[in-house]
Structure 1
Amino acid sequence: MSTPPPSHAPTSDPPSAADRRPGHDGPLGWLRALDPRGRRAFAGAFGGYALDSYDYFTLPLSMVALAAYFGLDSGQTGLFTTVTLAVSAVGGAVAGVVADRVGRVRALMITVLTYAVFTVACGFAPTYETLLVFRALQGLGFGGEWAVGAILVAEYAGARHRGRTLGAVQSSWAVGWALAAIVYTLVFSFVGDDLAWRVMFWTGALPALLMVWMRRRVHDAPEAAAARERSAGRGSFAAIFKPGTGGEPGLLRTTVFAGLLSTGVQGGYYTLATWVPTYLKTERGLSVVGTGSYLAFLISGAFIGYLTGGHLTDRLGRRRNIWLFALLSAICILAYADIPDGADTLLLVLGFPLGFCMSAIFSGFGSYLSELYPTAVRGTGQGFTYNTGRAVGAVFPTLVGFLADGWGVGGALVFGAVGYGLAALALLGLPETRGRELV
């Protein structure tokens, strides 16, 4: 099995002939650099991740209504997110293995179908316990979609534009989040809360439309698929935990530190994504429409942050980009949670840099994790580390839920800054990979 170059290997390979063509410069050069098959793969991954985001946010946006309907406390509502993210670790790891063994597109379709079916099922849940189970099963598909879609696109993208290309895929998370916020505002404005949360989950059937298109139009990158087929030990968990021997670099160190990096970033992110809607509605006293307006600033910042972070990860390098935005995200959390009562305009304005920073840090993940692993176990390594980070990071929203009973949601949100500190420390054990070719 091939192994990635050691950390001291050159990381600034010269751009390919395709990457050097004049048409591939400029803001959309990354898109023009993709061939027609690559653009369809991009569209499939973009749509899949946007709808993954949409299905995820049906829960946080409905949290207040769910808590009232089932009579839940903050700890119980926080458990929804923890269970979803914990089970997503299993789904992500399994999806990564499947992607290495049967192909990226097939695995992507399986993940999309899984999260769509169980999101709709959540709308029919008669009890808190049943809803918890359905939400956990939704996590199986939710966990695998991003890792598989990111690898699919990464294997089409050239080294020069990979960060920007994967940053653009990542920006679809904000698109899905915005769509969920719009639907939430409409549904909860015209339907009573006891039914509105069910309607939100039922709209999670949207990904079925994407499935029909993907089945006919999207295919794996030919060169990467051929390399994967030639490789021995495809989809092996043992390979990503193999220590270095006889001077040959192993993947154990990479897997441990990449898992810690993912844990820190996602612990911070999901703390905010889960609890900011509740914070705005319960502690700041905003209406449904008011909450939607404040989220619009947060989501707008997130969308621009994904695109900007993708550009910077190609310019600064993977590690510097993550370090920069880990620091800025921690600062924004502390500032956002410390806004005094009555300063709602400041709360509105600060939502933009908060969304920007906590999203820009993700832009390099798709390219970075793809570049850390060789073709034979790229899906396994990326799926395992990204989703293990989700599972361990899932503890953060639950801790915030329990801390909120004594500290208030705003005070408990500062715990998310701890995650970004962990991410910064994890980078000390990982190499820079900018410029690394994948095939």
Structure 2
Amino acid sequence: MSTTQAPQVHGRQPDDTGAFGWLRALGPRGRRAFGGAFGGYALDSYDYFTLPLSMVAISAYFSLDNGQTGLLTTVTLVVSAIGGVLAGILADRMGRVKALMITVITYAVFTVLCGFAPNYETLLVFRALQGLGFGGEWAVGAILVAEYASAKHRGRTLGAVQSAWAAGWALAVLVYTLVFHFLDPDTAWRVMFWTGALPALLIVYIRRNVSDAPHAEELRRTSSERGSFTAVFRKDLLRVTLFATLLSTGVQGGYYTLATWVPTYLKTERGLTVVGTGSYLAFLISGAFVGYLTGGYLTDRIGRKNNIALFAALSAAGILAYTNIPSGANGLLLVLGFPLGFCMSAIFSGFGSYLSELYPAAVRGTGQGFTYNSGRAVGAFLPTLVGFLSDSWGVGGALVLGAAGYALAALALTGLPETRGKELT
């Protein structure tokens, strides 16, 4: 199917070249799907960051060492692999919208329950179960929007969906700053988790307004292998599945190492207060938001692989620079937060479009859910490793392991095809 045929099939206008042409090209139904996916991913991000932002208080409350604290993040990300695979299979068997609602409800319920945890072990279990919903939301939401988007605009459209992560992160930092400013830390971390009930409100919008893309839904329903887990390992897809998983492992290992430990690094090694930490994170998050949008534009202009390779190199360099700033030079730390957030987020902008384009409609949810979340699960061991090594290396010293993740991602690209301009089938 050519790009020029897309308006008749999908109701899009792919030749719209204005600043928001990608949004107009989605059409009314596509824009509602975009709203649901954006909101779901923003609140997914919000619920995820309730833990990293509260880790110092949680560690003190339960008397944890850095290894135990890091395990809270790792178990979330490891179980997210299971959630991602299950959500992908559900998306291929039940449809994208139904699977999206299930994932949102799951991560909201278990985030709230974390706030009631009486001990470390219970918190670990609830956080793991939160990972089931957390792992599936992005893959399902990204596919839902990708199937409405034209090949011409798909990169920047999915980059805009990715920017929701920064929006949710920013909201979490704002709430964290207020909650920890006015409440005792022993109470504040619980309140942070209780605010994770917010995503439940999104379900009402999704149920009333969002539907699957008609053309993709028809292809999914008429396929005999829809939702088949083994299909993503068949001969013609095996190489793609293996290298896409390796790519996800490297990128997410680097990202979650920083997302998990930078707040702790700013407090314990740079001596910043709660408000000070929020200010520094604001620069990091602002860079992330701009990075998502810029990366989405570049992935359409220079290609999926070139965009990922470029920002893998820049992210690795940014980590090394950020963690080697001399003591007392906190002003430079503030300034470097923006480009670091920019690079580590721009690399993700092409993921939604790239992984969607690597798989046919019948197994698109399964393939994207498996590769993205399995990579996240394996990469999740880097935050735990940082936690254990930080006792001897310091948090800042151990954070450089994130650079190794980006090197792995660049290597994985050698085994994957370029898909820019590809129509979804």
Bin the TM-score by the shorter chain. Answer: over 0.9
**Equivalence for 2:225:** 233
Q: CA deviation at 1:36?
A: 0.5
- Aligned partner of 1:107 in structure 2 is 99
CA–CA separation in structure 2 for the residues paired with 1:22 and 1:435: 12
Alpha-carbon distance in 2 for matches of 1:225, 1:117: 29
Give the aligned partner of residue 276 of structure 1. Answer: 262
Written as runs of structure 1 = structure 2, the 5 A alignment for 1:364-379 is 364-379=350-365
How far does residue 238 in structure 1 lie from its aligned partner after superposition? 1.0
CA distances 1:32-57 after superposition (whole Å, capped 9, x unpaired) = 10110000000000000000000000
TM-score by length of 2: 0.98
Q: CA deviation at 1:16?
A: 4.7
Residue aligning to 2:336: 350
With over 3 angstroms needed to count, the CA separation of the structure-2 counterparts of 1:21 and 1:146, relative to structure 1, is closer
1:333 to 313, 319, 337: 319
Aligned to 1:196: 188
Q: 2:127 aligns with which of 135, 139, 152?
A: 135
Task: Give the aligned partner of residue 206 of structure 1.
Answer: 198
1:28 aligned onto 2:20 = yes
Question: What secondary structure is seen at the aligned counterpart in 2 of 1:98?
Answer: helix
Identity over aligned residues, as a percent?
A: 79
C-alpha contact 1:15 1:160 (8 A) present in aligned 2:
no
Matches within 5 A, 1:163-312: 163-243=155-235, 250-312=236-298
Measure the CA separation in 1 of the matches of 2:259 and 2:399: 10
Provide Cα deviations, 1:193-226, integer angstroms capped at 9, x if missing partner.
0000000000000001100111111000011001
Q: 1:319 to 1:99 in 2, by over 3 A?
A: same
Is 1:96 equivalent to 2:88 in the alignment?
Answer: yes
Q: Which runs of 5+ in 1 are unaligned?
A: 1-11, 244-249
Conservation of the 8 A alpha-carbon contact between 2:254 and 2:406: yes
What is the CA-CA distance between 1:177 and the residue it aligns to?
A: 0.0
Residue 255 of structure 1 aligns with an amino acid whose one-letter code is T
CA separation in 2, counterparts of 1:354 and 1:138?
Answer: 28
The answer as to 2:30 corresponding to 1:44 is no
Query: 1:219 and 1:154 mapped to 2: Cα distance?
Result: 13
Root-mean-square deviation over aligned CA pairs = 1.3
**Which position in structure 2 is the counterpart of 1:64?**
56
After superposition, the C-alpha distances for 1:344-400 in whole angstroms (9 at most, x for unaligned) are 000000000000000000000000000000010000000000000110000000000
- String of CA shifts for 1:48-97, please: whole Å, max 9, x gaps: 00000000000000000000000000000000000000000000000000
Task: Write the distance in 1 (CA, Å) between the matches of 2:347 and 2:14.
Answer: 29
TM-score w.r.t. the length of structure 1 is 0.95
- Among 64, 75, 89, the residue aligned to 1:83: 75
Question: In 2, Cα distance between the equivalents of 1:369 and 1:23?
Answer: 24
Q: 1:62 to 1:222 in 2, by over 3 A?
A: same
Per-residue CA distance 1:244-303 (angstroms, 9 max, x = gap): xxxxxx100000000000000000000000000000000000000000000000000000
Deviation at 1:13, TM superposition (A): 6.0
Q: Which amino acid aligns with 1:41?
A: A
Off by >2 Å, runs of 4+ in structure 1? 12-23
Match of 2:300 among 300, 314, 317: 314
Opposite residue 393 of structure 1, the aligned amino acid is G
- Give the one of 364, 368, 384 matched to 2:370: 384
Counterparts in 2 of 1:146 and 1:17: CA distance versus 1, 3 Å: closer
- The answer as to 2:143 corresponding to 1:151 is yes
* Separation of aligned partners in 2, 1:122 and 1:188: 17
In structure 2, what is the Cα distance between the partners aligned to 1:79 and 1:22? 45
**Equivalent residue pairs, number:** 422
